[in-house]
Structure 1
Amino acid sequence: MIRNIAILGASGYTGAELVRIIATHPYMRVAALSGERKAGQAMREVFPHLRHLDLPDLVKIEEIDFSGIDLAFCALPHATSQAVIAELPRDLKVVDLSADFRLREAADYEKWYGKPHTATDLQREAVYGLTEFYREEIRAARLVAGTGCNAATGQFALRPLIEAGVIDLDQIIMDLKCGVSGAGRALKENLLHAELSEGYHAYAVGGIHRHLGEFDQEFSKIAGRKVEVQFTPHLIPANRGILATVYVQGDAAAIHRTLSGAYADEPFLQVLPMGEAPSTRHVRGSNFCHLGVVQDRRDGRAIVVAALDNLTKGSSGQAVQNANLMLGIEETAGLMLAPVFP
């Protein structure tokens, strides 16, 4: 049975990535596309790489008839999503790609995003969308909150290690590099080619990055006590990809065994042989995450490296993976495409 899908905010990078994935999905069809600033335009005008597809034109959200829609992906900016989703039919399944429902507590949302949450009833209803760890809750959910792309990468590297108790929870340092598409499609001076190319830089230094809210929430929940990682993200002159290098205290062999065991049956999480480190070029355009463990030269210390595509496994691919579960579809449907290389 084919499910009709609406994509709200289809004129952004994650919206285009959703269309690219759903175009070859065996059980989904794009039935409606919205783009407030691009309303009235054909998708091929906004994204020429999609010109071969038979897609509906972009319209305003209020023009969409949701009576025939099985699920909506909401790829709108932070703070916009909560207002829009509050007005959608209450029986409509929704996967939100923004940050609006990732944090369970209203006070935490206000702390990290600087404004009160205006849909706290929906915030309480939402299920955190890290698929591999919330499968059963996602299956039964009406509203799923997609994770931050940085947050997903770091959690894949650390969640099993925290749960198994094989690392020192007070000695976690995460150095993360992210491609420029993670900043969205809106025009920003610091993202111009002349401003960004031929160098890279740290940002949100000193523990002010918003995805720390997700790390604090999830890691502390697993550990049963407060866990705060030291985290510095960097913007690199690449279109796609996240590489997280995580420095931990613990036995490297035990860390590798723990990750290998935790992800042995996970179709999208691939643990490399001991001593190998992954690269973003080997996951580009795919829903896969590669993880590696390397022994540090000092005993009792190890480096865990995780690589994924921020637009796919970090966002739109994860969203489709969650939607598959919500709609009773095989979880891997439409998502087993091999990475693009070179």
Structure 2
Amino acid sequence: MIRAAVVGAAGYIGGEVLRLLLGHPKVEVAAAVSSRYPGKRVDGPHPNLRGTTDLAFCTEEQLDSYDVLFLATPHRATMKLLPRLAPKAKTVIDLSGDFRLRDAEEFARRYGAEHTRPDLLGEFTTGLPELAREQLAGADRIAAPGCMATAAILALTPLTDAGLIEPDVDVDARTGSSGSGATAGEANLHAERSGSMRLFATSGHRHEAEIAQACGVRPVMTATGVEAVRGVQTVCRTTLREGVTEADVRAAYRRRYADEPFVRVVAQRRGLYRLPEPKILLGSNFCDVGFAADGSGSRRLLAIAALDNLVKGGAGNAVQSLNVRMGWPERLGLEFPGLHPV
């Protein structure tokens, strides 16, 4: 049994980390840090945890020593917190965007601030087991990728690994309101968000850099906020290289994800859920990926992925990475399959 602490535990991602770790057979949640609710029970802001724990939030100053520290803190805050928090645990798993990119200049361009600890960027391994399983096995600094980036990367990787597509990719992402966090502002009030499909970050989305870094493509990405609370779906418009067939594409997906515990290939010709749909993945750590070829004979191909932004797009990826780091079965604590109907 290892001891874990979660910093930023009152937010949506922090709450999901708590939920998953409280059900994990090899982890004791020893501390949950919140600057907003010190001394208050964690099942206040996270009512779904009622009856599962008597844990109360503590302050950063009350932290002791732990085996693993999860940082569910805001973008641009983690890089300032890390130097003083890192000594608290051997293994640090960051769920913010601060250590996802390896290039400090690219970080500054995408996040609108200079990176205060560029010397630490090279210490972090990408917390996406499907891409970095071998590196995670010995990693003590892990950076979980963004939710929409995770979906796009998993949709594109079989195609880029096999050299099946041209490098220019158009990524169209849709996301639920929980992606804005528990302290989102006026734009995410129910009265403003309900019924809307709000296009945001129409150019230069920060996840473009993560997708390019992981897949070696030139992505252009837009994101749309939709009615859902949870869930991400990405539709990546690609162009097949000359001579590539639909059979080649299907074989690449099957081959790449044949042994992955949390990626399922969903590309059927008929049925209500014939392509990846986030609704049936809510609460689960699965990412469904699929594709749709243009039947007219052109080289256009849609690469599609869906996931729960708070689980496989965040906390679940982090826990899965911890499982790999510790040499445990990857499904440990992550067995929930999702619900249908919802």
Give TM-score, length-normalised by structure 1. Answer: 0.93
- In structure 2, how many angstroms separate the alpha carbons of the residues matched to 1:44 and 1:219? 40
Of stretches 172-181 and 294-303 in structure 1, the one that deviates more from structure 2 is 294-303
How far apart are residue 191 of structure 1 and its match?
A: 0.4
Structure 1 counterpart of 2:176? 179
Identity among equivalent positions (%) equals 35
How far apart are residue 219 of structure 1 and its match?
A: 2.3
- The amino acid of 1:212's aligned partner reads E
Structure 1 counterpart of 2:50? 51
From 101, 106, 112, give the equivalent of 2:110. Answer: 112
Report if the CA contact (8 A) 2:208-2:220 is conserved: no
Structure 2 counterpart of 1:335? 334
In the alignment, structure 1 residue 234 sits paired with structure 2 residue 224: yes
Of stretches 6-15 and 17-26 in structure 1, the one that deviates more from structure 2 is 17-26
How far apart are residue 274 of structure 1 and its match?
A: 4.2
Query: Using a 3 Å threshold, how does the CA distance of structure 1 residues 274 and 261 change in structure 2: closer, same or farther?
Result: farther
* CA deviations over 1:62-85 (Å, ceiling 9, x no partner): 21111xx11011000011111212
How far apart are residue 244 of structure 1 and its match?
A: 0.9
- In structure 2, how many angstroms separate the alpha carbons of the residues matched to 1:253 and 1:152? 25
Q: Which runs of 5+ in 2 are unaligned?
A: none
How far apart are residue 252 of structure 1 and its match?
A: 2.7
Please give the residue correspondences for 1:1-342 in structure 2 after superposition, counting only pairs within 5 Å: 2-66=1-65, 69-90=66-87, 92-170=90-168, 172-206=169-203, 208-220=204-216, 227-250=217-240, 251-275=245-269, 276-299=274-297, 300-341=299-340, 342=342
* CA deviations over 1:85-107 (Å, ceiling 9, x no partner): 21124462010000010001111
Structure 2 counterpart of 1:223? none
- In structure 2, how many angstroms separate the alpha carbons of the residues matched to 1:121 and 1:326? 23
* CA deviations over 1:276-297 (Å, ceiling 9, x no partner): 3121111111000111222223
- The amino acid of 2:236's aligned partner reads V
How far apart are residue 36 of structure 1 and its match?
A: 0.7
Report if the CA contact (8 A) 2:7-2:33 is conserved: yes
- In structure 2, how many angstroms separate the alpha carbons of the residues matched to 1:174 and 1:330? 33
- In structure 1, how many angstroms separate the alpha carbons of the residues matched to 2:190 and 2:73? 25
Report if the CA contact (8 A) 1:6-1:72 is conserved: yes
Report if the CA contact (8 A) 1:202-1:233 is conserved: yes
Report if the CA contact (8 A) 1:277-1:293 is conserved: yes
- In structure 2, how many angstroms separate the alpha carbons of the residues matched to 1:219 and 1:193? 36
Question: SS where residue 100 of structure 1 aligns?
Answer: coil
How far apart are residue 328 of structure 1 and its match?
A: 2.5
Q: Which runs of 5+ in 1 are unaligned?
A: 221-226
How far apart are residue 187 of structure 1 and its match?
A: 3.6
- In structure 2, how many angstroms separate the alpha carbons of the residues matched to 1:256 and 1:169? 19
How far apart are residue 273 of structure 1 and its match?
A: 4.1
Question: SS where residue 74 of structure 2 aligns?
Answer: coil
How far apart are residue 205 of structure 1 and its match?
A: 0.4
Report if the CA contact (8 A) 2:212-2:218 is conserved: yes
The Cα RMSD (Å) is 1.4
How far apart are residue 210 of structure 1 and its match?
A: 1.0
- The amino acid of 2:321's aligned partner reads N
- In structure 1, how many angstroms separate the alpha carbons of the residues matched to 2:332 and 2:58? 28
- The amino acid of 1:83's aligned partner reads K
Report if the CA contact (8 A) 1:30-1:55 is conserved: no
Question: SS where residue 116 of structure 2 aligns?
Answer: coil
Report if the CA contact (8 A) 1:274-1:293 is conserved: no
Report if the CA contact (8 A) 2:152-2:304 is conserved: no
Of stretches 125-134 and 323-332 in structure 1, the one that deviates more from structure 2 is 323-332
